[in-house]
Structure 1
């Protein structure tokens, strides 16, 4: 039995991702090269695909090795370079949070919350999910949520759960809101603008989608959390939890001192500045990284920690998440290979062609499936909208369906899979911060993905039947 278990052991995360890179590399020799022309949309100023412009090109397979051009193994470096902003963000956030945690304020504050909730801690899961879903549905919170993951993990552990629960109640809440996209300017707003339909139209239907998606995720996470609290060995990341030294002992909670108050005041001020900068100035990774570093530095000093210990905490925090930070760059290598081999547009073209001429409900759900697949290759929400909506919107016209259907297919395809695909920098950032191996997360979330996918099929079918517009 022991030998069988070893034989069926899930491969290392890096092995999984590099295997996908190899598959993409082979694909550049099999799949014909092709390309759409990109033109500027006069209404939005974005570069979008000209749906009628696809043409096959001369094959451009990626070399296994070359002295004079990029090859299979330079894809890792190029992926690291392309994802450098996310990698730096992960390392600095990890270091900054370690600085904050080094003051003892996090343990003391979360300990008091955990003791106050005691056996009612389970209610925290749907409450936090609902809060973050509002951010996902309105301002498109995704990368911005990364900074809350360490707090979620620490709180979950204090309540007797594990890192999976702590990550899920933050990340899946935002994902449910992002998928519903009621007023998300980066996904639904962009897609509807390209499809030339009223911005944020059919919001009532998206609110229903948000509530259903959120409820499914909350119930799934709560059931798992109850099981883990009852028997910690049932945790998907039991080995991680056993080896984690930072689990808070509720029987010996640190005193909450004035220095802890100073620390939390700095942290609250930092988050306030972040939110203001995002809303008013459109801040992104670079700005958020700098603010979080400042937050960690000033919070540590305000908490009474000396400069040398503060620096030590920063280095320790960054060092513990190098594994996850590197995953982001390695996974980006998949896209690098496909872009170099000029096969991404060919995949899009072939999928679009396969849908036309089918019955309405089947065609609509195949549009959804196509977007699911394409999100693996184009994980950026606005990037996928700019690439696929100029194709999907005219396709909806051809099938005599409202263009709103094409937008729903896009938002489901983009929203659901962001929580499972290894090419998503945001997901890999969550897992890096929480120190959860990708294969463990994949195993845990796969059933939820099945439920979300089924709900998406139902919502797509109902939208076709009622002719939503």
Structure 2
């Protein structure tokens, strides 16, 4: 009898376990379009719940920027967004993101032409052969290079064109697409977030706060070193795991598909003259891109034109016919269509909040909460406030013009230095750009890499938590030393 009961209990437990496993297997992460639509619905609902309001704004005669006037918040008539307006919001979002979307299509098409020539494959094979078993050392080196670009010229979206190259490089070392994209994204953002001489965040915020441009650089340099080290360790650990067991890759299906479609290079394959010309065209183009961004303040239109020229020239050097160049371009542009649309749909979230006139209300409400907190919590609260607001106002310079005029006097009331408030701003603005679906730069990278948003979140969320914690430590330290 006792044996029967034990056997029956075991059967029931096994059956329950199988049912639970079956339930888990039936759970499926929603498509990113469905996720974004759900967030848009929440944004629309908030326009009914949160009172509409706005601050007065004035133009700064020195910089020409439109700044919020602190203490001028007032309620305005409620202007809720109807659910039937959502299709219009999405179209408006796509329209407002049109420059980024166009850039993605051009980069996708141009890189398809370049990669189809085989020059990248040959060049990468030559480099990895020379690296031998030291290939893992290239990861921190590349992160450092990208971080310097992010810290000095604020390079983030500008580097999206390098994502296919870094992914090809990562795959040649038996890593995966996430490794390649992470090298570029985390590299650029390690510098951009630390903001050593970042004109778009630190530069704008210090101007508004009345501080000398790029003052307090010593602490930001330390932060940058810490972020580079942490990013390198995080990526290397993941890359080694994937290399040891490819099934551990978060994008294993994508890697299998790419491997099945990839052409095997002949072991005796050597770089030819046309490959050298194509690689020279690419490297010269990147050099011209950096020059244009730094000296001529190029942005998406100019960069798109440059990548298009690089693609066409590469096709000519490869001996492609005009039809072949056109066909490759179309195929490349098609491959980023999903991601390009995601960028526009994500923009609809901000459009809904703006149309409902509740962005200023959110800022004023959070600032009011910070004021009633104990003084020792205020510096952390200002930092966390920027992390929250970054979901709604993803532009660094745009966020600075809205929040800095409010946060600077608020901080001074409780003994927080202006420099510490600026630090809280650019750290709070930066880390969540790595995970928020409203971050257009992140979505552009994912579109170019062909990586699903859900896969990226699984990879990045532990690092974002680590980064946010690191930021909190530095903000508190800055407050203690009266930075």
Q: Could you state the TM-score of these two structures normalised by the residue count of structure 1?
A: 0.96
1:420 to 435, 441, 462: 435
Is 1:314 the counterpart of 2:329? The answer is: yes
Root-mean-square deviation over aligned CA pairs? 1.4
Is 1:30 the counterpart of 2:45? The answer is: no
Q: CA deviation at 1:415?
A: 1.2
2:3 equivalent in structure 1: none
Q: CA deviation at 1:77?
A: 0.5
Of structures 1 and 2, the larger Rg is shown by: 2
1:111 equivalent in structure 2: 125
Structure 1 residues 51 and 45: CA distance shift in structure 2, 3 A: same
Give the secondary-structure state (helix, strand or coil) at the position aligned to 1:193: helix
Structure 1 residues 307 and 395: CA distance shift in structure 2, 3 A: same
Gaps of 5+ in 1: 66-70
Distance 2:432 2:343 in 1: 16
Q: CA deviation at 1:413?
A: 1.1
Tell me if the contact between 1:115 and 1:250 (Cα under 8 Å) persists in the aligned partners.
Answer: no
Q: CA deviation at 1:23?
A: 0.5
Give the secondary-structure state (helix, strand or coil) at the position aligned to 1:418: helix
Q: CA deviation at 1:284?
A: 0.4
Is 1:323 the counterpart of 2:338? The answer is: yes
Distance 1:111 1:124 in 2: 14
2:8 equivalent in structure 1: none
Query: Matches of residues 344-359 of structure 1 in structure 2 within 5 Å?
Result: 344-359=359-374
Give the secondary-structure state (helix, strand or coil) at the position aligned to 1:286: helix
Distance 1:5 1:312 in 2: 43
2:34 equivalent in structure 1: 15
2:201 equivalent in structure 1: 187
Q: CA deviation at 1:82?
A: 0.5
Is 1:158 the counterpart of 2:172? The answer is: yes
Q: Deviations over 1:139-160 (max 9, x none)?
A: 1001111011110000001100
Is 1:169 the counterpart of 2:168? The answer is: no
Q: Could you state the TM-score of these two structures normalised by the residue count of structure 2?
A: 0.94
Query: Matches of residues 237-248 of structure 1 in structure 2 within 5 Å?
Result: 237-245=251-259, 247=262
Query: Matches of residues 266-277 of structure 1 in structure 2 within 5 Å?
Result: 266-277=281-292
Distance 1:18 1:6 in 2: 24
Q: CA deviation at 1:113?
A: 1.2
Q: CA deviation at 1:357?
A: 4.1
2:80 equivalent in structure 1: 61
Q: CA deviation at 1:254?
A: 4.0
Tell me if the contact between 1:194 and 1:389 (Cα under 8 Å) persists in the aligned partners.
Answer: yes
Distance 2:74 2:266 in 1: 67
Q: CA deviation at 1:79?
A: 0.7
Structure 1 residues 247 and 125: CA distance shift in structure 2, 3 A: farther
Distance 1:316 1:255 in 2: 27
Is 1:283 the counterpart of 2:298? The answer is: yes
Structure number with the higher helix fraction is 2
Give the secondary-structure state (helix, strand or coil) at the position aligned to 1:48: strand
Distance 1:357 1:182 in 2: 33
Q: CA deviation at 1:250?
A: 6.6
Tell me if the contact between 1:107 and 1:254 (Cα under 8 Å) persists in the aligned partners.
Answer: no
Q: CA deviation at 1:377?
A: 0.8
2:68 to 32, 49, 61: 49
Q: Deviations over 1:408-452 (max 9, x none)?
A: 111011111111111111111111010000111011100000100
2:10 equivalent in structure 1: none
Gaps of 5+ in 2: 1-17
Give the secondary-structure state (helix, strand or coil) at the position aligned to 1:356: helix
Distance 2:128 2:23 in 1: 41
Q: CA deviation at 1:251?
A: 6.7
Distance 2:429 2:164 in 1: 25
1:68 equivalent in structure 2: none
Give the secondary-structure state (helix, strand or coil) at the position aligned to 2:67: strand
Distance 2:233 2:386 in 1: 26
Q: Deviations over 1:114-147 (max 9, x none)?
A: 2222322111110100000000001100111101
Give the secondary-structure state (helix, strand or coil) at the position aligned to 2:438: coil
Give the secondary-structure state (helix, strand or coil) at the position aligned to 1:73: helix
Q: CA deviation at 1:328?
A: 0.3
Larger displacement relative to structure 2 (174-183 or 107-116): 107-116
2:471 to 449, 456, 460: 456
| Paired residue total | 463
Is 1:378 the counterpart of 2:397? The answer is: no
Query: Matches of residues 85-164 of structure 1 in structure 2 within 5 Å?
Result: 85-164=99-178
